[in-house]
Each structure stands twice: as structure tokens, then as C-alpha cells.
Amino acid sequence: MKQTVTLSRRLSAALPALALAAGLSAFAAPASAEVSFSIQDRDVTRMVSLGGSCNRCELSGRNLAGATFTGASFMSATLVGADLRGAELVGSNFSSSDFSRADMRGAEIQGSNFSSAVFRDVRMSGTEAQGANFSRADLSRADLSGAELVGANMNAAVLANANLSGAELFGTTLANVSARGASFSNAELNAANMTGGDFSDANFSGAELDGARLSRASFGRANFSGASMRRADIRGADLSGARGLNQEQVSEACGDGTTSLPRGLTVRSCTSRGMIVAPRAPVPPVPPVPPAPRRNFASADRH
């Protein structure tokens, strides 16, 4: 048997009693939100749906596995150590929220805003985060292995010692990031924008960097063993201390006089020809013009 409880009112007034049944026993902020709980038999996974606004909510340690956040506003919320496995955070605003040590494995967080959020030590392997905004977010030591981050915005994010091995990062913005000691082994970074980033001690072994922009980025002691760099733009990049980098790889990339390479390696000059460009989001088709209304004319014979 399935029982459904739906609530839309001030959280501070009536939410705690109903939320207790769904494992959300206490919200700190007196913000307005719409919450839908679906409580099913014991052998069926509980479903929790959250929408509306609950900024600065306290959700640390809560069991939100399989929860759905759609078009919700949870700015500056605290979800430290929360269980968000398989959750859906779609088109929602979690800017400046704290997800430290949360378990988000297999979550779907497409198109959500996590700017300036904290993800230290978060488990996010297999997460689907296409088009998500992580600008200025702190993802230190986060496990993003195998995550889908196509088109995500990570501008100026902190990725120190993060694990992005096997991640899909096609067209992802990694400009101005601090990714010291991060692992991108076997990751797909084709057409990624890595301009101005700090990738010292990072691991790019077996990674695909075809058409990526590495200009003005720093790669001190970074490992490029077996990495693919076809048509990569390394103008102004500092690769002088990179490890595992050979002439065959560099010959497939392009640079200029400001490119710093290990001793004995040379690079050809860049041209616009053959460069890979990240695809733009498709423009929705223009709706068809409705047909003009039919007019019926009546004529009368004059005698």
C-alpha cells in the first residue's frame, strides 16, 4: 500500500512533524517550500521530492538517497555528510551550500548551480553533471571518477587532489582552476578550456586532450604519459617540468614562442585550421507560424 503526503506552507510551522516520517526531521531556516513525500511499503524505496525555497536549510547527515530537487532554491544550505546517492538535483540553485563528505554517487545534477559551494571529500563517482555550474566551488579531494561533466563550468574551482580519472569533460570549462595533484588519468578532456589553470603534479596519463586549450596554464611535474594532444593549444603554457611528454605528442599540438617545453622538444605554430571547437548548445527550432484564419465571404446577387 502506498501513502502520499503533500505539504505546501511555511516550513517553520508544520514541516518538522511530517518531515520526520521521510527522514528530514529538522530544517533550520523558516523559508517557504513545497515538499512532496511518497511513503511506500518497506520493500520499495522511499521517494522524497523537494521544490520551492529553503535557503540556509540544515540537512547535515540526512538520508536523501533517491530524493528529487527540481527547480528548488537551497542557497547556503548545509548538507554535510548527507546521503544523496542516486538523487536528482535538476535545475536547482545550491550556490554557497556545503556538501562536505556527502555521498552523491550516481546522482543526477544536470543544469544546477553550485557556484562557490563546498564539496570537500565528497564521493561523486558516476555522477551526471552535464551543464552544471561549479564556478569557484571547492572540490578538494572530491572523488569524481567516471563522472559525466560535459559542458560543465568549473571556472576558478579548487580541484586540489581531486580524482577525475575516467571522467567525461568534453567542452568543460576548467579555466583558472587550482588542480594541484588532481588525477585526470584516462579522462576525456577533448575541447576543454584549461586556460590559466594550475595543474602542477596533476596526472594526465592516458587522457584525451584533443583540441583542448592549455594556454597560459602551469603543468609543473604533471604526468602526460600516453596522453593524446592532437590539435591542443599550448600557447603560453608552462610544460617545462612536465613528465612523460615526448616529441610525438608535442608535434600533434601547437604553440608559439611563449610555450615552455622540456629541453629538446619543439612545437609548431598554431593556425585556426584543424582546431577542435566545443559545440554550442543547439538552438531550439522556431515554432511554426500558425495558419491565417479562414474568412468566409457571402455574396448576394443584385436584381
Amino acid letter, 22: A
Name the 3-class secondary structure at 212.
coil
Contact 15/35 with Cβ under 8 angstroms?
yes
Q: CB–CB of 218/197 below 8 Å? A: yes
> CA 8 → CA 15, 49, 51, 71, 94, distances in Å?
9, 12, 10, 15, 21
Q: What is the pLDDT of residue 49?
A: 74
Pairing label, strands 47-52, 32-39: antiparallel
- Which residues of the chain register pLDDT less than 50? 1-46, 273-291, 293-303
CA 164 to CA 139: how far, in whole Å?
11
pLDDT at 24: 42
Q: What share of the chain is helix, strand, coil (3-state, %, to 5)?
A: 5, 25, 70
Burial of 34 (C-beta count, 10 Å sphere; 0-12/13-18/19+): middle
**Burial readout 78-91 (b: 16 or more C-beta within 10 A, e: otherwise):** bbbbbbbbbbbbbe
The neighbouring-strand residues paired with 32 are 10
Residue 131 burial (CB count, 10 A): 17
pLDDT of amino acid 271:
82
